[in-house]
Structure 1
Amino acid sequence: MEKYLDAFANAFSGTVTWTWKSILFEVPWYTNYFWGLVAISLVVWLLEIAFPWRKNQAIFRRDFWLDAFYMFFNFFIFAIVISGVYKMLEVLFKDLGITAKSLAIVDISAWPMWAQLLSFFIVLDFVQWFTHVLLHKFPVLWNFHKVHHSVKEMGFAAHLRYHWMENILYKPLKVFGVMILGGFEPEQAYIVHFAAISIGHLNHANIKLTWGPLKYVFNNPVMHLYHHAYTLPKGSFGVNFGISLSLWDYIFKTNYVPEDSGTIELGFPGDEDFPQDFIHQNLYGFSKPKKRERIPGARLNPRG
């Protein structure tokens, strides 16, 4: 037990130290996710201000500051708290004989760097797409995912507004994706991570962007807005699940963009009773849903 507690303490303190050094610019710029997140957020926010899709939406839209807090909480504060737990599990798996290469299908370590990065990006994006589908399909998971879908006005910061329990689900499955690639993360994986943050911010931004013919490959704000639509196609539990790539939705027929005005209502049936503050939103998933709440797609017409 002592080695597990040591692993927890070392990982926790190491993550705290790294985060603090990042704030002080004492880490290489390409691994400085703190200021990288700040820089990407400012750039996308300025694009929202300069080229607003919904022109009547305020610069400081509804829940702007709540979403901004979620960004830093999920990306850094919770990462610090959970880092020790993941390290303990890593030690446990090692003791059980389970290594990073246990599930390896292919080892990409000898591939050219561009091929490593591309494979890493595609595999992890598919794992996240699949996880996202699960969050919508199963009520117990959807109950947590409602935090992200409680956004009523879309903006870049909504990208990282999600219940901390989603990290519990996403992280192991992403590790599974890495294990498939031989337990190997490319040396320049920071390129993939920063690209994913940028695409995610843009997808939630108040910007009308479709990428032209590339819309069949990359996710975009128009497509993702319909993922957050209050009214979904009849019988559907969700559409447009893509994270960075839209191609999974086109391949598995979960794509849906009937128009591009950007004026649709966002949310989900019953969201008028959803908590408005951070603490109660993050306690919500552990409570039993009210009987009057319904699954996505159960309502055919928007409110009012």
Structure 2
Amino acid sequence: MEKYFQIFKDSYVGYFNYLLDEITRFHWENYFYGLIVVSVVVWLLELLFPWRKNQKVFRKDFWLDTFYMFFNFFLLNLIVLIFLSNATAAVFNDFLGLVGLHVSDFELLNVDALPYGLGLLVFFLVSDFVQWNTHRLLHSVPILWKFHQVHHSVKEMGFAAHLRYHWMEPVVYKSILYIPLAIIGGFDVTDVAIVHFTALTIGHLNHANLGWDYGILKYIFNNPKMHIWHHAKVLPKHTKYGVNYGISLSIWDYLFGTNHIPHNGRDIELGFDGDEQFPQHFIHQSIYPIKTKKRKYPYIRVQKEKS
């Protein structure tokens, strides 16, 4: 128990000092200013090339999503995720130790043994594929969908909607991602920063008010014209839980048949069945999935096509 108390202490002290350093000192792996730069650039693209021209500059819930963006990116780590990540790693290692194993025993690939670009690509592909599968779980498992509804409560799309999600989501993502990444060794802070900012930029663009699909590259990269259908309030008849689950890459949806872009989705209604009952404010949205024992409406969105 003393070991985990020390992990708790070191996690919070270490992350507080890290966050202070991020805010007060610029460096190339700086997540704080990196988030601001990426957000401002994508927002300017929205203003210069708006897909929905009647959408306001400060769209519905713009400031709520901006708060979510900084809360989930920084404060959430300070409050829970850093300790949880460190504690999970310690518990997993302790469990393996009981049977005479170590996490390094599961390492199947060391990216240092590959050419730098190839190793980085492997790291990116593994991370994205695991997150694509996790995203499907968020839609198909009832308790997880209750948390994921926070993200799908967005009614007007914009870049900051990318990081509107319940604090339980990264707990699920990080827990599932831990073991697959444990089998890949050799990546460093710079590798993580490159993959992270690539995913951040693509995610911002996916949610932005931009009518782009990247041409032939739409079959590889997720894009605004594809992702808008993931947020559609009305589901197609052929699916039960959702479509277009891609995080950074669309290729998984095309490979596994979950792609769906029937027509230009610029003006489709966003949300989920019963979202008019969903809370409008951060605190209420955060506690809603926890305090709600019985749903007033099904967790699966409407399964029908518009006539």
Partner of 1:204: 207
Partner of 2:5: 5
Partner of 1:185: 187
Counterparts of 2:264 and 2:180, CA distance in 1: 34
Identity %: 51
Contact 2:148–2:166 (8 Å) recurs in 1:
yes
Q: CA deviation at 1:261?
A: 4.5
Counterparts of 2:177 and 2:28, CA distance in 1: 21
Q: CA deviation at 1:9?
A: 0.6
Q: Of Structure 1 and Structure 2, which has the larger fraction of its residues in helix? A: 2
Counterparts of 2:219 and 2:253, CA distance in 1: 9
TM-score by length of 2: 0.93
Q: Deviations over 1:66-121 (max 9, x none)?
A: 00011111111011122123222322333332644243232222212111110010
Q: Deviations over 1:144-200 (max 9, x none)?
A: 100000000000000000000001100122222211214x43453111111110000
Picking from 266, 269, 273, the partner of 1:269 is 273
Aligned ranges 1:125-144 → 2 under 5 Å: 125-144=128-147
**Runs of at least 4 residues off by over 6 Å:** none
Aligned ranges 1:147-186 → 2 under 5 Å: 147-182=150-185, 184-186=186-188
Matched residue type, 1:8:
F
Aligned ranges 1:95-114 → 2 under 5 Å: 95-96=94-95, 97=97, 99-114=102-117
Distance change (3 Å), C-alpha of 1:41 and 1:110: same
Picking from 241, 244, 249, the partner of 1:240 is 244
Q: CA deviation at 1:273?
A: 0.1
Contact 2:62–2:160 (8 Å) recurs in 1:
yes
Contact 1:136–1:238 (8 Å) recurs in 2:
yes
Counterparts of 2:138 and 2:299, CA distance in 1: 15
Contact 1:240–1:254 (8 Å) recurs in 2:
yes
Q: Deviations over 1:255-278 (max 9, x none)?
A: 000112400000000000000000
Q: CA deviation at 1:48?
A: 0.3
Q: What is the root-mean-square deviation of aligned Cα atoms in Å?
A: 1.6
TM-score by length of 1: 0.94
Contact 1:200–1:243 (8 Å) recurs in 2:
yes
Number of paired residues? 299
Counterparts of 1:15 and 1:232, CA distance in 2: 41
Contact 2:146–2:299 (8 Å) recurs in 1:
no
Matched residue type, 2:293:
K
Picking from 294, 298, 303, the partner of 1:298 is 303
Counterparts of 2:211 and 2:182, CA distance in 1: 37
Contact 1:53–1:208 (8 Å) recurs in 2:
yes
Report which stretch shifted further, 2-11 or 46-55: 2-11
Picking from 222, 225, 233, the partner of 1:222 is 225
Q: CA deviation at 1:20?
A: 1.0
Secondary structure, counterpart of 2:249 in structure 1: coil
Secondary structure, counterpart of 1:285 in structure 2: helix
Partner of 1:66: 64
Report which stretch shifted further, 169-178 or 202-211: 169-178
Picking from 35, 38, 41, the partner of 1:40 is 38
Q: CA deviation at 1:25?
A: 1.5
Partner of 1:78: 76
Counterparts of 1:186 and 1:120, CA distance in 2: 11
- Stretches of structure 1 that go unaligned for 5 or more consecutive residues are none
- Stretches of structure 2 that go unaligned for 5 or more consecutive residues are none
Matched residue type, 1:11:
S
Partner of 2:287: 283
Matched residue type, 2:297:
R
Distance change (3 Å), C-alpha of 1:176 and 1:294: closer
